[in-house]
Structure 1
Amino acid sequence: MTTADLAEYSDLAFRSATAVYVLAAALLVCELASTSTRAVVRRDTARELVGAGSVPLAEPAGPGRVETPAGRPLSDRLGRMGISLVGLGLVLQVTSLVFRGISAGRAPWGNMYEFTSLATAVAVLGTLVMLRKHTVRPLSVFVLLPVVVLMFIAGTVLYARSAPVVPALQSYWLVIHVSVIATASGVLLLSGIASLLFLLRRHHAEGAEGSSTVGRLAARLPGAQALDRVAYRTAIFAFPLFTVGVILGAIWAEAAWGRFWGWDPKEVTAFITWVVYAAYLHARATAGWRNTRAAWINVVGTGVVLFNLFFINIVVSGLHSYAGLN
């Protein structure tokens, strides 16, 4: 099998992963639409009782709950199938990255197409990990939507053929620095989405089904505290990684350009991102800020991450020639 074949298989796996994510999102949207508000309240209440050491008795099927022959509500079956497809899509996406790396003979994150693929894969993986610890399956829908959009942009506008990177990036620092930043960016994307949903949930009464479409959607989301815990715990994990990534980037800059800091647009925006997330974690631990205000800071941080990824790399010229666009 030639490197050209591997590159072709990599592109095929990437496109297949995107298609699988779209199908998974469709199933999860159907689950969200078919779940009654009362079922959400019962689910969150049961979670609290289990956490307190009590085991609630199973309730019989009632109006609005369609039972399958296996005894599970139809919405639950749709959700489980959707999550299974998310896992399949992640396997395909990781396969795409592996084939890309082998065909190019380097780490598969040497341009924006590959960076975006790695970051979105990390976001999906983080979502699956959170689903094992928290009852927040509807969160996966809202993670998949930006993931699919980012992958579509990566596969079209940002696409670059499998090839060696420019001489400035032919360094072991590419393996270390960029992988750490991409991992942190993917987890921070998940954290920001969780905070955005937390704000939406907080805006509407807990468990109360509003009259508007947004209100009915908010009523079907997981509890606000569960979403806030996901946002905080993922940020706690990603912030040290991002800090290490910025420090490693400074060390690489000194080796490549003879200085640790040169006020390059990429460096400045990365520092602003670090300050925003440091402010979020500080606000999250401060009385009076730990709820809505801290969540807004987290959402702003996600916006800065996306701004740094797209606008700085594509529009603003600097020493970080990372777009890989032809």
Structure 2
Amino acid sequence: MPVNQSLSTASDFSFVSTFVVYLVALIISLFYYGRIRGIIDARRENGQPQQVREALLVTAGGSGSDTTSSRIDEAKESFHDAPDLAAQEARAEKLGGALQNLVWLGIILHIVAVVLRGLSVSRFPFGNLYEYVLVITAFAMLGAAAILVQRQEWRVIWSWLLTPILGLLFFGGTKLYADAGPVVPALKSFWYPIHVSTVSIGASIGIFSGLASLLYLLRIWQPYGKEHGFMGGIAKPLPSAKTLDFLAYRTAIFALPLFGLGIILGAIWAEQAWGRYWGWDPKETVALITWILYAAYLHARALVGWRKYWVAWINVLALGFMIFNLFFINMVVSGLHSYAGLN
């Protein structure tokens, strides 16, 4: 079937627009991140209500020590700065709302790019590595938006997620880009959209889960209220370690069965296409290793005796194998899945 060049061009334009919107969102998210850090610093400096009450009680009892007078002065300064702190919080809330709206705009444009790409060639847009990156990043952003919109304090994670997403899109749009066209005969199968879409959804959830585990390890290294040094300043706006561990664990619960189902569907397709369910092809092997790591992470996470920071490293390792499979296996190693690489 001939390619609709108008729709293909529109998809490319939507892709560029998506990148620009995400880039602006990243810049705003960095400003938002900095404001949240400033608010946290202000709260820690001025938010000492218990000490204020103690100082006032001592004064009421008749003590006139220099220490008490100093504490009262600090209390007055705290109360004086309270309206300014409230104003900072209000401005940060508006900036966070604008960030969230901009991200949703980018996601809409992202989905439009995917849909137009598929319509231009009258097939599901999974025919090459550029299309796969386009789809997997769309799923990752959509899933992250559905999670992060639930609580305002989770919005600081956008800075950490938008950075790798923009990196993937930039690499996909420059080094992996392929003109819209028909797929190779090996992909003309009923199982093609089912297998690849299932794997894509599972992989996109796994990306977010691995990122959450990375941030959890950073927060463990820089505990809340005890941050120090340069990395402490970076970690300060992050949610608590418990929250990040919760996000990593809950998302991995969905990534494991979906990614595993994608592997099973691929095995069924392989039996029809190549006459065997499993052949230890490089992409198959690394995908299986990734799934085993997710299973190991969830199993170890459920064991009481395991320290959570060691368990988190398993999830990070799974993320590493996912990225390795996406790029190195597709672009460097030759195998039966080599048609998924560059045209």
TM-score w.r.t. structure 2 length? 0.85
The match for 2:14 is 13
Q: 1:110 touches 1:169 (CA, 8 Å); kept in 2?
A: yes
Gaps in structure 1 of 5+ consecutive residues: 44-58
1:225 correspondence with 2:242:
yes
Residue 22 of structure 2 aligns with an amino acid whose one-letter code is Y
Give me the identity figure in percent.
48
Residue 24 of structure 2 aligns with an amino acid whose one-letter code is L
Q: Deviations over 1:236-272 (max 9, x none)?
A: 0111001100000100100000000111101111111
Residue 145 of structure 2 aligns with an amino acid whose one-letter code is L
Identify the match of residue 258 of structure 1 among 260, 275, 284: 275
The match for 2:330 is 313
Q: 1:90 touches 1:121 (CA, 8 Å); kept in 2?
A: yes
Number of aligned residue pairs: give it. Answer: 306
Q: Deviations over 1:149-174 (max 9, x none)?
A: 00001101110111110000011211
Pick which of 299-308 and 283-292 moved more: 283-292
Larger Rg over CA atoms: 2
For 1:264-303, what aligned pairs fall within 5 Å after superposition? 264-289=281-306, 291-303=308-320
The match for 2:48 is none
Q: Per residue, is there more helix in 1 or in 2?
A: 2
Q: 1:37 touches 1:208 (CA, 8 Å); kept in 2?
A: no
Q: 1:280 touches 1:298 (CA, 8 Å); kept in 2?
A: yes
Hey, what's the Cα distance between the residues in 2 that align with 1:35 and 1:204? 17
Identify the match of residue 304 of structure 1 among 296, 321, 328: 321
The match for 2:27 is 26
Identify the match of residue 183 of structure 1 among 201, 206, 219: 201
Superposed CA RMSD in Å reads 2.1
Hey, what's the Cα distance between the residues in 2 that align with 1:108 and 1:61? 55
The match for 1:158 is 176
Hey, what's the Cα distance between the residues in 2 that align with 1:308 and 1:285? 27
Q: 1:228 to 1:136 in 2, by over 3 A?
A: same
Residue 62 of structure 1 aligns with an amino acid whose one-letter code is A
The match for 2:223 is 205
Identify the match of residue 149 of structure 1 among 167, 172, 193: 167
Shift of 1:290: 5.2
Residue 67 of structure 1 aligns with an amino acid whose one-letter code is A
Hey, what's the Cα distance between the residues in 1 that align with 2:22 and 2:326? 22
Hey, what's the Cα distance between the residues in 2 that align with 1:245 and 1:107? 16
Pick which of 3-12 and 279-288 moved more: 279-288
Identify the match of residue 191 of structure 2 among 165, 173, 182: 173
Gaps in structure 2 of 5+ consecutive residues: 45-78
SS at match of 2:253: helix
Hey, what's the Cα distance between the residues in 2 that align with 1:241 and 1:203? 31
The match for 2:144 is 127
Q: 1:64 to 1:223 in 2, by over 3 A?
A: farther
Q: Deviations over 1:178-197 (max 9, x none)?
A: 00111111110000011100
For 1:40-189, what aligned pairs fall within 5 Å after superposition? 62=82, 65=85, 67=87, 73-134=90-151, 135-189=153-207
Q: 2:149 touches 2:155 (CA, 8 Å); kept in 1?
A: no
